[in-house]
Structure 1
């Protein structure tokens, strides 16, 4: 039988952390998990937007258990503080790595540590967070990495990971999403090799747009023009609420295993199903080459064999 996003398994007693959960797919992932009974922690950079998201979930989900955790994935001090908070809490059943830049700057920018900004936001911050917070993830827990269909339309330039030569916004976005997927699959291989019961699953939400998403005050408020333009693409797009069905299944479906890859049934839209990932993303050789580059750029050794 297929996955029914309208009849989710009971998740009461489980704790799920979703990064970048104040808007977009991340918000709806958090809302749907709260609706299933999970205690959801929203890792967000902006306190006001985080509070708006928490308030929205509480309005829309009766008796929701939801809270905010300060987290800026481009700031190592913020990442480390969030990791320390999760370590003190313990018992995290799933960590959804959703935060990211979807619309990269036209010209190359860097974070405070000299890393290219899109790579820093979409990959490096999550790498550091997982490396430091992994002991907080419960036995049998899951780490869910959000990739993208863009991974099929670009390539990972390991020889120029930071795009110091030939930056374009598309190269930055597609390359970062390929790197995120490579990280997710390599993480699962290393978890298995270490004898860990924690699983790493990679997903992509298809082509999900704000103009086809329910309007929510403080969370998703597209203009009329945006609504009109996005609805012209209805044949191959979906709302971000529908895109969230994929990471939600990755968190809750007990039949999944580490190394699985999920996406919408019709590639850009549809029910969440097992989907083929690119050969490059799944390549153990690519993963082995990328791993030390991520350790160096994030300033964080990863404590796994």
Structure 2
């Protein structure tokens, strides 16, 4: 694949893009580029005040930017339903849904409003419900895309269907990896189901490698001075947030993208580099795992589709 940059994003004029977690990091970078290329961008965020500050920064950066903020707490199914209902009513046609928002826990286990392990509930189950509730709106668009944000950590993770909520033996890093594996399984299985249903909507996946998002320093801050030193060293190995956002921007906008494709960095262990097509782990690509997780997600969220 030739080197791909944000300058190659086609004109997005007339398209509606919903970006979750768009108030900072990868989401803000993604929203800014979509607005720069004339999409009307909805920042779907938990913290509305932070979202309004992000929207203001986009307007300062992009002349004539069409951007607005909607409240969405992915750790609450009630909030997901309320937000999806409002979005569906206000935007009968949605062209892009970028499931970007992500949470990394550093300490003990926490749960969502619905009792889910916080990372699984926020990173995957909330997005599963949101996507299902907006699928009709996406289906009315011309070549709509759903982009699910994975992570390199999914490749070393495993889903324990007897303990999806990690209640028996919680470790924050392991649970995060499982949440990103679940997100990847969701994106792959969504593609299978969209194809089987003859839907025009594409399900595409992306991961940023290791980028300098707001999550990077947070992953070390609880370790004190040693953690700060490790974080500084780690920054030398990572790529800027704007570059980390390129795989999801490519997945969302590049011509010729096919459902089920997965984009990430081209470099060593996919940590950094130019955008290229990458492969999900064997477990993430397993149709049996996809079916089992889909059934569990439907049962847990109460959202059934495809």
TM-score by length of 2: 0.90
For structure 2, list consecutive stretches of 5 or more residues without a partner in the other structure.
Answer: 217-225
What's the offset of the Cα at 1:155? 1.4
What's the offset of the Cα at 1:117? 1.0
Q: Using the alignment, how far apart are the partners of 2:46 and 2:282 within structure 1?
A: 33
Q: 2:189 aligns with which of 186, 189, 195?
A: 186
CA separation of 1:212 and 1:238: change in aligned 2, threshold 3 A: farther
SS at match of 1:202: strand
TM-score by length of 1: 0.90
Q: Using the alignment, how far apart are the partners of 1:200 and 1:193 within structure 2?
A: 13
Q: Does 1:90 align with 2:92?
A: yes
CA separation of 1:211 and 1:184: change in aligned 2, threshold 3 A: closer
Q: Does 1:167 align with 2:193?
A: no
User: 2:156 is matched with which residue?
Assistant: 153
CA-based RMSD of the aligned residues comes to 2.0
Q: Using the alignment, how far apart are the partners of 1:125 and 1:230 within structure 2?
A: 29
SS at match of 1:16: strand
Q: Using the alignment, how far apart are the partners of 2:195 and 2:153 within structure 1?
A: 28
Q: 1:144 aligns with which of 147, 155, 162?
A: 147
Contact 2:5 2:246 (C-alpha < 8 Å) held by counterparts: no
For structure 1, list consecutive stretches of 5 or more residues without a partner in the other structure.
Answer: 214-224
User: 1:219 is matched with which residue?
Assistant: none
CA separation of 1:114 and 1:228: change in aligned 2, threshold 3 A: closer
Q: Using the alignment, how far apart are the partners of 1:41 and 1:287 within structure 2?
A: 29
Q: Using the alignment, how far apart are the partners of 1:83 and 1:108 within structure 2?
A: 28
User: 2:220 is matched with which residue?
Assistant: none
User: 2:219 is matched with which residue?
Assistant: none
Q: Does 1:209 align with 2:212?
A: yes
Q: 1:294 aligns with which of 294, 297, 304?
A: 297
User: 1:112 is matched with which residue?
Assistant: 113
What's the offset of the Cα at 1:227? 9.7
Q: Using the alignment, how far apart are the partners of 1:100 and 1:212 within structure 2?
A: 9
Q: Using the alignment, how far apart are the partners of 1:268 and 1:109 within structure 2?
A: 28
What's the offset of the Cα at 1:5? 2.4
User: 1:41 is matched with which residue?
Assistant: 42
Contact 1:211 1:228 (C-alpha < 8 Å) held by counterparts: no
Higher helix share: 2
Alignment of 1:1-305 (within 5 A): 1-88=2-89, 89-102=91-104, 104-137=105-138, 138-210=141-213, 232-233=233-234, 236-266=237-267, 267-300=270-303, 302-304=304-306
Q: For residues 89-120 of structure 1, what are the alpha-carbon distances to aligned partners after superposition, in whole Å with 9 as ceiling and x for unaligned? A: 12111100011102x14222112221111111
Number of residue pairs the alignment of both structures matches: 291
Q: Using the alignment, how far apart are the partners of 2:215 and 2:168 within structure 1?
A: 37
Q: Using the alignment, how far apart are the partners of 1:272 and 1:185 within structure 2?
A: 19
CA separation of 1:90 and 1:256: change in aligned 2, threshold 3 A: same
What's the offset of the Cα at 1:156? 1.6
What's the offset of the Cα at 1:235? 5.0
Contact 2:25 2:214 (C-alpha < 8 Å) held by counterparts: no
Contact 1:237 1:268 (C-alpha < 8 Å) held by counterparts: yes
Contact 1:209 1:230 (C-alpha < 8 Å) held by counterparts: no
Q: For residues 226-283 of structure 1, what are the alpha-carbon distances to aligned partners after superposition, in whole Å with 9 as ceiling and x for unaligned? A: 9986563455311111111111111111211100000011111122111122111111
What's the offset of the Cα at 1:198? 0.3
What's the offset of the Cα at 1:4? 2.8
Which runs of at least 4 in structure 1 moved beyond 4 Å after TM superposition? 225-231
